[in-house]
Amino acid sequence: MNPIFLGLVTIVLGVGGCIGYFWASNLVLDKVIFPAKGKNIGRNINRANMVRPWLFIFPAFAALGLYLAYPVVGSFVRSLYGRDGSDFIGLGNYVWLLSDDEFRQAVFNNILWALVVPAGSTFFGLIAAQLTDRLSWGNIAKSLIFMPMAISFVGASLIWKFVYAVDAEIGIINAFRAWAFDADPVDPLQIGFWNNFFLMIILIWIQSGFAMVILSAAIKAVPDELIEAAKMDGATDSQVFWRVTLPQIGTTIGVVVTTIIVLVMKVFDIVKVTTNGQFDTNVLANDMFDEAFNIRDRGVGAALAILIFVSVLPVMIGNIRKMQKEN
Amino acid sequence: MSNITPVTTDEGAPDDLPEPGDAMGDKQHGAVNKTYGFLRAIPTTVLWFIVVLWSLPTMGILVNGFRNRDSQRNSGWWKGLWPGNFGDFTLENYDQVINARQSIGQSLLNSFAIAIPATIIPIAIAAFAAYAFAWIDFKGRKVLFIATVSLLAVPLQVALIPLLQLATNGAHLTIPLLDKTVTLIPNLGFGNTTTIVWLVHTGFAMPFAIFLLHNYISALPKDVFEAARIDGAAHFTIFWRLVLPLSVPVLAAFAIFQFLWTWNDFLVANTFVGANPDAHPTTILIANLAGDFGRNENILPAAAFVQAFIPLIVFFSLQKYFVRGMLAGSVKG
């Protein structure tokens, strides 16, 4: 069959089926199972309303259960078994990790990442979103800041090779050092401790575009009446930003920071292609990949996955609680 | 502040215009205006600075995309901009990417067949769930919401292997003692097709989609819903007629990212359709073109831009939905 035709059929069936499900299931609920007529009308309406939320969230839960919850449970079970998966060792893998230097280094680095990258990306994203908001060339500025997100990772890894490369002919940092100070080339990615920050810059560069787009949509949603009223009362632009806009987009900033923290805890490809975790730059997800696919201890790999998952939970729960209170 | 003429636009502050009725002397007046003009220019300068800083790394591959293999290998991209080196400019990298032996046409179609359903279907599913979490009262809603969003933290690399087994074999449970095997999920024959790729993307997208949409939908003004409920509108109607139209900016924002992630994804696609060249999206094709050990690394800068072209179009066309004043008139002060 013609692939274009097949693709179109997939899209129409998928999207149509999805919307059709919601429409039809509501219709069946209201007209057939619990019709709002007859002698049980009151009871029927109440029952229909008890069932309805479950109709609304059922497809989401089916997808979540199959594609995310099921692998997590599977990984947890696997993490309780040894290298080849036949001998049950309880928490043995976790205990082993606690004494592993590579793991401790990864935990320390992940904490650094989680502190720096979400703050940096949100900061630059917010500045960009606010400054471009009512600017004539705002859309051009936005698309240039968004560009790093649009470039696939294969491209991005090459981009940063041209920045960090040791060869002064290729890497712009060493080229500049040679030109300005006549200095010998260094490898920025081998400078202990600080090399972590050079890798973080890559992620901040990518994620600022993410923060900018989400925050930009939120800033546009701040009701004009509020801003005009504040200006009418004599507020300056910066006062409007600090006192009106910022409180209005507070929960969205929370969403952006939380999402980036989660992303950072899972950060993998940047470290994989630049240092592969050498020179004290390892992170949990890269350690996990090493254990599961190179060292071939799937049990330890699964334990690491569970630890990544669990470590993010307090941040998420705290944030969601806070947001629900504010609403 | 009263001596400053109100400025209505962000830029082009009329620094030099004389201000009628100003009591200050000309000299002092000029100084104040200069300081004011300087302060006003700071935000724009900061923005310029960020834009240049963010674009500079990308310049590297933009320029190198047009340089031949030898000059890419032997000298920095900035040297390509020196007038003496203009002779090195070439279109052969782009030619290699677009007219490759394995045609890019089929892989572009595959990318669309993955990215479009993987963008639209999660929006439809997640919007309903987000609405239920935000505006319908039911038992356990908070706990379920937290459970849903916390799945955001699942490292995808972990999920891939169990899902690959599920896609190729289905799920079977062997009941102990009875020695009987029950098929929970049959093998639907999706293995190695683009369908399984977008299905997996749909599942992975769910926590973030619900998180983001819920944040926006729950912040919609309560009055809107109460008025609609009093008028007797059902939840489905409210969702369809009110929530969806009002949520357009956040739906556009999500669509931009979801399209981007699925379009640029290599890991998921390579796991599920790596063995079937007919279903390869552009990311896999490009990785294959580059060859082992970076043999043809010279085509990667050009390929990166070919690959980024479609997401940028999506970004530009959806950006216009970030409109102001969606809620105009619905909030009272």
Check whether A274 has a pLDDT greater than 70: yes
Q: Measure A21 CA to nearest chain B CA, in Å.
A: 10
Residue of B nearest to A24 (CA): B236
Q: Measure B189 CA to nearest chain A CA, in Å.
A: 15
Q: Do B113 and A6 touch (CB under 8 A)?
A: yes
pLDDT band at B119 (very low <50, low <70, confident <90, very high): very high
A33 shares its domain with A145: no
Residue B241's φ and ψ, nearest 5 degrees, are: -90, -30
Residue A178 C-beta-side C-alpha neighbours within 13 Å:
15
A162 shares its domain with A16: no
How much of chain A exceeds pLDDT 70, in percent? 97
Q: Which residue has the higher pLDDT, B18 or B75?
A: B75
Q: Do B76 and A152 touch (CB under 8 A)?
A: no
Residue with tokens 């179109």: A8
Boundary (domain end) residue, out of A79, A102, A120 = A79
A294 shares its domain with A234: yes
Whether A167 contacts B74, CB under 8 Å: no
Query: What is the token pair recorded at B30?
Result: 């000029």
Q: Which residue has the higher pLDDT, B258 or A195?
A: B258
Q: Do A259 and B208 touch (CB under 8 A)?
A: yes
Which domain does A20 fall in, by range? 3-79
Boundary (domain end) residue, out of A79, A114, A136 = A79
Model pLDDT for residues A298-311, shown as the tens digit of each residue: 888 888 888 888 88
Check whether A119 has a pLDDT greater than 90: yes
A13 shares its domain with A140: no
A57 shares its domain with A155: no
Collect all residues with Cβ–Cβ distance below 8 Å to A30 and sequence separation of at least 6.
A36, A48, B234
pLDDT band at B12 (very low <50, low <70, confident <90, very high): very low
Query: What is the token pair recorded at A211?
Result: 């923060």
A21 shares its domain with A165: no
Q: Mean per-residue pLDDT for B197-206?
A: 91
Q: Residue A10: in which H helix or E strand, if any? A: helix A3-28
Residue type, A109: N
Within a 10 A sphere around the Cβ of B189, how many other Cβ atoms?
12
A246 shares its domain with A275: yes
Mutate which of B125, B184, B262, B266 to test chain A, going by most A C-beta atoms within 10 A?
B125
Q: Is B317 on the interface with A (CB under 8 A)?
A: no
In a domain, A86, yes or no: no
A16 shares its domain with A99: no
The Cα–Cα gap between A249 and A121 comes to 16
In a domain, A84, yes or no: no
Check whether B293 has a pLDDT greater than 60: no
A33 shares its domain with A99: no
Check whether B168 has a pLDDT greater than 80: no
Interface of B with A in 186-245 (CB under 8 A): 194-195, 198-200, 202-204, 206-208, 210-212, 215-216, 218-219, 234-236
Check whether B10 has a pLDDT greater than 70: no
Domains of chain B: 26-92 (no CATH), 100-319 (1.10.3720.10)
Q: Mean per-residue pLDDT for B243-256?
A: 88
Whether A240 contacts A230, CB under 8 Å: yes
Q: Is B148 on the interface with A (CB under 8 A)?
A: yes
Q: Do A60 and B148 touch (CB under 8 A)?
A: yes
Q: Measure B113 CA to nearest chain A CA, in Å.
A: 5
A147 shares its domain with A259: yes
Query: What is the token pair recorded at B292?
Result: 């082992």
Within a 10 A sphere around the Cβ of B183, how many other Cβ atoms?
10
pLDDT of residue B1: 37
Whether B33 contacts A138, CB under 8 Å: no
ipTM of this complex: 0.83
Residues of A in contact with B194 (CB under 8 A): 7, 10
Q: Mean per-residue pLDDT for B39-46?
A: 76
pLDDT band at B300 (very low <50, low <70, confident <90, very high): confident
pLDDT band at B5 (very low <50, low <70, confident <90, very high): very low
Model pLDDT for residues A183-193, shown as the tens digit of each residue: 777 777 777 77
Q: Mean per-residue pLDDT for B27-31?
A: 65
In a domain, A309, yes or no: yes
In this structure, chain B runs to a length of 333
Residue of B nearest to A20 (CA): B124
pLDDT of residue A318: 81
Q: Do A52 and B256 touch (CB under 8 A)?
A: no
How much of chain B exceeds pLDDT 90, in percent? 8
Whole-angstrom CA distances from B149 to A69, B155, B260 are 11, 14, 21
Out of B60, B236, B256, the one facing A162 most closely (by C-beta) is B60
Mutate which of B49, B139, B215 to test chain A, going by most A C-beta atoms within 10 A?
B215
Q: Do B1 and A234 touch (CB under 8 A)?
A: yes
Check whether B76 has a pLDDT greater than 50: yes
Residues of A in contact with B128 (CB under 8 A): 22, 56-57, 59-60
Per the structure, the count of domains in chain A is 2
Out of A205, A216, A236, the one facing B322 most closely (by C-beta) is A216
Within a 10 A sphere around the Cβ of A70, how many other Cβ atoms?
18
Helix (H, G, I), strand (E, B) or coil at B206: helix
In a domain, A279, yes or no: yes
Whole-angstrom CA distances from B105 to A287, B144, B164, B283 are 38, 43, 27, 13
Boundary (domain end) residue, out of A79, A112, A138 = A79
Residues of B in contact with A317 (CB under 8 A): 146, 150
Model pLDDT for residues A45-92, shown as the tens digit of each residue: 778 778 888 888 888 998 898 888 888 888 888 888 888 777 888 888
Whether B149 contacts B134, CB under 8 Å: no
Most confident of A24-38, A259-273, B149-163, B206-220: B206-220
Q: What CATH number did the domain enclosing A157 receive?
A: 1.10.3720.10
A195 shares its domain with A46: no
The Cα–Cα gap between A130 and B251 comes to 20
pLDDT of residue A124: 93
Q: Mean per-residue pLDDT for A259-273?
A: 83
pLDDT band at B292 (very low <50, low <70, confident <90, very high): low
A66 shares its domain with A122: no
The Cα–Cα gap between A326 and B178 comes to 54
Out of B78, B148, B312, the one facing A64 most closely (by C-beta) is B148
Whole-angstrom CA distances from B321 to A213, A217, B240 are 12, 9, 18
Q: Do B10 and A134 touch (CB under 8 A)?
A: yes
Query: What is the token pair recorded at A206?
Result: 């990518």
pLDDT of residue B174: 60
The Cα–Cα gap between A112 and A265 comes to 10
pTM comes to: 0.82
Out of A69, A131, A292, the one facing B47 most closely (by C-beta) is A131
How much of chain A exceeds pLDDT 90, in percent? 8
Most confident of A172-176, B246-250, B286-290: B246-250
pLDDT of residue B16: 42
pLDDT band at B263 (very low <50, low <70, confident <90, very high): very high
R_g over Cα of chain A: 26
pLDDT of residue B127: 92
Whether A249 contacts A218, CB under 8 Å: yes
Q: Is B248 on the interface with A (CB under 8 A)?
A: no
pLDDT of residue A116: 94
Out of A14, A124, A142, the one facing B117 most closely (by C-beta) is A14
Query: What is the token pair recorded at A255?
Result: 């969403």
Within a 10 A sphere around the Cβ of A117, how many other Cβ atoms?
24
